[in-house]
Amino acid sequence: MSLFDHLPILVVLIPLLAAPICSLFRHGIVANRIALAAAWTTFGVAILLLKEILSNGTVRYQLGGWEPPWGIEYRIDILGGYVLLIVTAIAALVLSFARRSIESEIAKRRVAIFYAAFLLCFAGLVGMTITGDAFNVFVFLEISSLSSYALISMGKDRRALSAAFQYLIMGSIGATFILIGIGFLYMMTGTLNMDDMARILPDVAETRAIRVGFAFLTVGFGLKLALFPLHLWLPNAYAYAPSAVSAFLAATATKVAIYCLLRFLLGIFGVGFSLGVMPFDMILIALGCAGILSSSLVAIFQKNVKRMLAYSSVAQVGYIALGIGIATQTGISAAVMHMFNHAMMKGALFMALGAVMYRVGSVRIESFQGLGRQMPMTMAAIAIAGMSLIGIPGTAGFISKWYLVTATLEVGMWPFALLILIGSFMALIYIGRILEAAYFGTAKPGIVVQEAPIGMLVPIWVLVAANIYFGLHTELTAGLANQATAALMEALP
């Protein structure tokens, strides 16, 4: 076997090994360089893997040469390949952005440890994406969760500590629920390999143990992906975490959880069972709608902009849940598309807020007064990414919302189409509040704020450009989402 055959394990190994190396150094700058190198290499490997998947189909890798179902198997299909690509891309961009931001927000002696925790969290998320073993999902989930508790607690504000603790309690309960669910599945199928489970499951689907397992799994993942009303940990955690951490987690953590939920729902249980036999589609639609309305409403009244965008994230998860709940090909592809687009827009927005935090020292709405003239590039980035969040034509956000509205109309649920429009309108209000302060407010006299440094602007604008690019060129995202969803839906009866 050449090195090329070992690509699937390399994406996990590189960040996992780089993490302890980072923690050995006392100087933050060395750790920063190592983390950067690891993240960009992983990104490169992810691109190679995707190429391989697109030309030769699903990539399978047997850990230690043990054949499934005895050994752990890594299995990356098209959808997994793209989720992997976006997670590694965001990690590389956020790490490129992070150096100055982290130096100003975290004590010097903790910087190296910060990068170590960041890489561990990254390795966990990558592992969750590519593994084909149900128990392995739990292990990687805990690796990423435990390190994200530590990352959040490094925030400057002391409320970061209580937010991290709250997240630890709710996150652990969620992960334990997932563990119980996997236990029930194992009890009935006798295997941990996801493909194997999917094959055996239809024979035992009519038992109470499987239904109970299904319920535990969905509640557990619901907690991790912040599905309304299980989102209570999210606003504070994102608001008080260091800026780079908010950007990374907002763009990747919930997306990977959604992807895992999709794999369990569609890949193992199958559409017929998850969204037919069990009334999970109705639950998702109801909770999604409640999430969109209530969280958007709460976001409008937030004074802290990071908290505002955190609530907006819960609302976006609502759109995704609604898309999955509609349970048609269009609905699920809309959800998958929104997953990608949301990662791009929230990544850009939270990084831009990090730049504001770096220059101004606060992200309260008052501190945005007059920033439109003082930090034109940063504010333009917020404006464009914000438009994408609202769903204005020409941006990526429009495409996924368009598909979502189409999906609701296809099945004749026009009230939900109206609800999506109302949600977008509310996004217009809260994004409008930031832009109003930035462009029409007047800066306090005597305070001069400089534009963010170029090292911060480049990663932000790469994501902003991606938002526009994928708003104009839909073949890639829409085509892929359709293809991936079709594969998921036909996999099982």
Partner 1 sequence: MYNYWLVVFLMMAGFYVVISQGNLVKKVIGLGMFQTSVFILYISMGKVAGGAAPIVTEGVEVYSNPVPHVLMLTAIVVGVATTSVGLALVIRIHEAYGSVEEDDIQLLDNSVDDFQEVDL
Give residues in contact with partner 1 (CB under 8 A).
106-107, 135, 138-139, 142, 146, 149-150, 153, 156-159, 161-162, 164-165, 168-169, 172-173, 175-176, 179-180, 183, 186-187, 192, 303, 362
β-partners of residue 304 are 364
Token look-up 């709940």 returns: 325
**Calpha distance 29→27 (Å, rounded):** 5
| Helix residue ranges, H only, 26-77 | 28-56
Q: How far is the CB of 296 from partner 1 (least distance, A)?
A: 23
Nearer to partner 1, 172 or 482 (CB): 172
Nearer to partner 1, 186 or 469 (CB): 186
Q: What is the DSSP letter of 192?
A: -
Nearer to partner 1, 192 or 241 (CB): 192
Cα dihedral: 328, 293, 316, 392 (round 10): 90
Structure tokens at 249: 């987690």
Contact call for residues 144 and 174 (beta carbons, < 8 A): no
Q: How far is the CB of 16 from partner 1 (least distance, A)?
A: 15
Q: How far is CA 7 from CA 4, 11, 12, 200, in A?
A: 6, 7, 9, 29
Q: How far is CA 191 from CA 70, 167, 215, 347, 396, in A?
A: 8, 31, 19, 37, 40
Q: What is the DSSP letter of 193?
A: B
Nearer to partner 1, 6 or 158 (CB): 158
- Phi–psi pair at 136, nearest 5 degrees: -60, -35
Q: How far is the CB of 23 from partner 1 (least distance, A)?
A: 15
Nearer to partner 1, 186 or 402 (CB): 186
Q: How far is the CB of 350 from partner 1 (least distance, A)?
A: 18
Nearer to partner 1, 27 or 473 (CB): 27
Nearer to partner 1, 167 or 340 (CB): 167
Q: How far is the CB of 239 from partner 1 (least distance, A)?
A: 11
**Calpha distance 46→330 (Å, rounded):** 27
Residue 61's H or E segment, with its range, is strand 59-62
Q: How far is the CB of 108 from partner 1 (least distance, A)?
A: 8
Q: How far is the CB of 164 from partner 1 (least distance, A)?
A: 6
Q: What is the DSSP letter of 156?
A: S
Nearer to partner 1, 200 or 422 (CB): 200
Q: What is the DSSP letter of 302?
A: -
Nearer to partner 1, 301 or 414 (CB): 301
Nearer to partner 1, 168 or 253 (CB): 168
**Calpha distance 259→131 (Å, rounded):** 12
Q: How far is the CB of 158 from partner 1 (least distance, A)?
A: 4
Q: How far is the CB of 425 from partner 1 (least distance, A)?
A: 29
Three-state SS for 38? helix
Structure tokens at 273: 């069972």
CA 433 to chain centre: 25
Structure tokens at 165: 């603790």
Q: How far is the CB of 179 from partner 1 (least distance, A)?
A: 6
